[in-house]
Every structure is written in C-alpha cells, then in structure tokens.
Amino acid sequence: MGFKIAIDGPAGAGKSTMAKAIASKLNYIYIDTGAMYRAMALFLIRNGIDSLEEEKISRKCQEADITIQHVNGEQIVYLNEENVNTLIRTEQVGNMASASSVNRDVRQKLVELQRKLAETDDVVMDGRDIGTQVLPDADLKIYLTADPEVRAKRRYAELLEKGMDADFEKIKADIVERDHRDMTREISPLKKAKDAILLDTSEFEIEQSIASILGLYEACLKNKNKE
Ligand code: DC
C-alpha cells in the first residue's frame, strides 16, 4: 500500500496546480479525477445527450472506456482509446462534467477506476469526493479553497494563457453555479472530510500554497513514523 494524499475543493481553487507540483516533488503519481468526469462529459456531448437525460446518461456511460496513462509525469486521458487531453479543457465540457457527475452510474464507474489506480502506488489524487468517498483512508487530506472572485480570476487568466476566448463575468457565474451543484448533489457532494485540513489560498501565491502542503506532508509523515 502506498502513501495517499487526497486534495478536494471547489473549481479553480488550485487543486490540480498543487497536486501536480506535490506529486512531482515527492515523485508520486498524480491522478486528476476531474479529467475523468470531463472525458465522460465529452463522450455524452458527442452523443448528443443533454445533461437532464438521466436514463440515457446511465445507459450510455457504460460505453465509454476511460483510461489514463502517465508520460513524463503528465496524465493523459483516453476516451475509447483516443487521447482527449486538450479537448476536455473547455468551459462547455467542464459544465457538462459538473452536471453529468450527479449521475449514480457515472460516479460508480469512475470511482471504481480511481480506487484501482490508487491501489498500489504513492498517489496525489484531486477531485471533489476523494477524502470522503474514493480514498476515505487517505494518509493526508487537504480541502483547498479560495474566494470565488479569486478563483474566477485564476480560471480567466488560465484560459487567456492557453489562447482561449474568455468572458470574466460568465466564468464567475459558472463557478458559482458549479459550486452550488457540486455541493448540493445527492451522491457524494463536495464537502470537507472531517479529518481534512482546510487550506484557504485566497491570499497565497502558488509557491506559498505548495510549501504549506509540503509542510503538512512532512508533519504527517513524522506522525506516521511515530506510530
Ligand atoms: O476539477 P474539474 O473542474 O476538472 O471537475 C469537473 C467536474 O467534475 C466538477 O465540476 C465536478 C465533477 N467531479 C466530481 O464530481 N468528482 C470528482 N472527484 C472530480 C470532479
């Protein structure tokens, strides 16, 4: 059994930036579970399915074969053997991922895959339900958050940097809507696990957040060695 770090939190809190950096420093495997929900969302969009068509989603999601591979520390997501890494980063796919991830069958399928991936290796896994559902026994759980305005600014900058079109007010509205849906859904809503450490990065630069998490990791390791 490897060492497991779970990072949960709302959209744009910096989970993937943190998780990637921590995994690279510790030589752990980084698993971005949001990318799996996004690949599933892309599959559903391509099949002309609407986010409200629950039954169709339940049936169709069984036909999506989602796998991941790691190349030079980068996670590559395959949807029925097609590399969809760049295709899943749009706001449309993100919104559909939030909407379709409320579906029980979608979650069951992806949670199974996520648990399998974490079985043997040291991992840093980020998402919404990692500390509460996917890896309830994780060695270190972080709940990463930031003010919605700050998160919207970060998402906006990220999209501009990628050369994509972006409308700040629309991004902010999407973030607020996505938070609400992710936090209030019936199955595995986004919430802080009881034993997770809350880290608010609103006032932090990236390097400060990374240093905080590494500090928590060191402390956790020391405690574990004492046991
Ligand atoms: O982290 P992200 O923005 O790539 O995630 C996209 C959506 O996927 C998010 O709004 C909710 C869903 N998701 C989830 O329900 N559970 C996870 N563990 C990860 C993501």
Q: How much distance in Å is there from the Cα of 98 to the middle of ligand 1?
A: 6
Res. 176: pLDDT tops 80 = yes
Res. 98: pLDDT tops 80 = yes
Residue 159: its pLDDT value, please? 85
* CA atoms of 133 and 53, how far apart (whole Å): 25
Is 227 inside any structural domain? no
Does residue 69 sit in helix, strand or coil?
Answer: strand
Is 42 inside any structural domain? yes
Residue 53: its pLDDT value, please? 97
**Short-list 112, 140, 116, CA closest to 126:** 140
Q: How confident is the model at residue 224 (pLDDT cuts 50, 70, 90)?
A: confident
How much of the chain exceeds pLDDT 70, in percent? Answer: 100
**Short-list 222, 34, 226, 49, CA closest to 128:** 34
Q: How much distance in Å is there from the Cα of 111 to the middle of ligand 1?
A: 12
Res. 165: pLDDT tops 90 = no
How much of the chain exceeds pLDDT 90, in percent? Answer: 86
Q: How much distance in Å is there from the Cα of 60 to the middle of ligand 1?
A: 19
Is 203 inside any structural domain? yes
Q: Which atom of ligand 1 is nearest to the CA of 38?
A: 6
Res. 75: pLDDT tops 80 = yes
Is 124 inside any structural domain? yes
Res. 164: pLDDT tops 90 = no
Res. 19: pLDDT tops 90 = yes
DSSP 140-200: EEEEEE--HHHHHHHHHHHHHHTT----HHHHHHHHHHHHHHHHH-SSS-----TTPEEEE
Q: Which residues are near ligand 1 (CB < 6 Å)?
A: 11, 33-34, 37-38, 94, 97-98, 101, 127-129, 178, 182
Q: What is the mean pLDDT of residues 105-127?
A: 95
Residue closest by Cα to atom 14 of ligand 1: 128
Residue 34: its pLDDT value, please? 96
**Short-list 115, 117, 123, 120, CA closest to 26:** 123
Q: What is the mean pLDDT of residues 152-177?
A: 91
Is 118 inside any structural domain? yes
Domain limits for position 93: 4-222
How many domains, the chain?
Answer: 1
- Phi and psi at residue 84, in whole multiples of 5°? -110, 15
Q: How much distance in Å is there from the Cα of 134 to the middle of ligand 1?
A: 13
Res. 227: pLDDT tops 80 = no
Given ligand 1 and candidates 33, 111, 183, which is best to mutate, with the most ligand atoms within 8 Å of its CB? 33
- DSSP character for 132? I
Residue closest by Cα to atom 18 of ligand 1: 127
Q: How confident is the model at residue 2 (pLDDT cuts 50, 70, 90)?
A: confident
Q: What is the mean pLDDT of residues 136-150?
A: 96
Q: What is the token pair recorded at 50?
A: 């609407």
Q: What is the token pair recorded at 117?
A: 């991936």
Q: What is the token pair recorded at 180?
A: 């609400």
Is 66 inside any structural domain? yes
Q: How much distance in Å is there from the Cα of 75 to the middle of ligand 1?
A: 16
Q: How confident is the model at residue 143 (pLDDT cuts 50, 70, 90)?
A: very high
Given ligand 1 and candidates 42, 87, 101, which is best to mutate, with the most ligand atoms within 8 Å of its CB? 101
Is 11 inside any structural domain? yes
What is the per-residue burial (b if ≥16 Cβ within 10 Å, else e) of 101-115? bbbeebbebbbebbe
Q: How much distance in Å is there from the Cα of 37 to the middle of ligand 1?
A: 6
Is 168 inside any structural domain? yes
The pTM (predicted TM-score) of the whole model is 0.93
Q: Which amino acid is at 139?
A: D
Q: Are 7 and 219 in contact (CB under 8 A)?
A: no
Q: What is the CATH number of the domain that holds 30?
A: 3.40.50.300
**Short-list 93, 204, 90, CA closest to 142:** 204
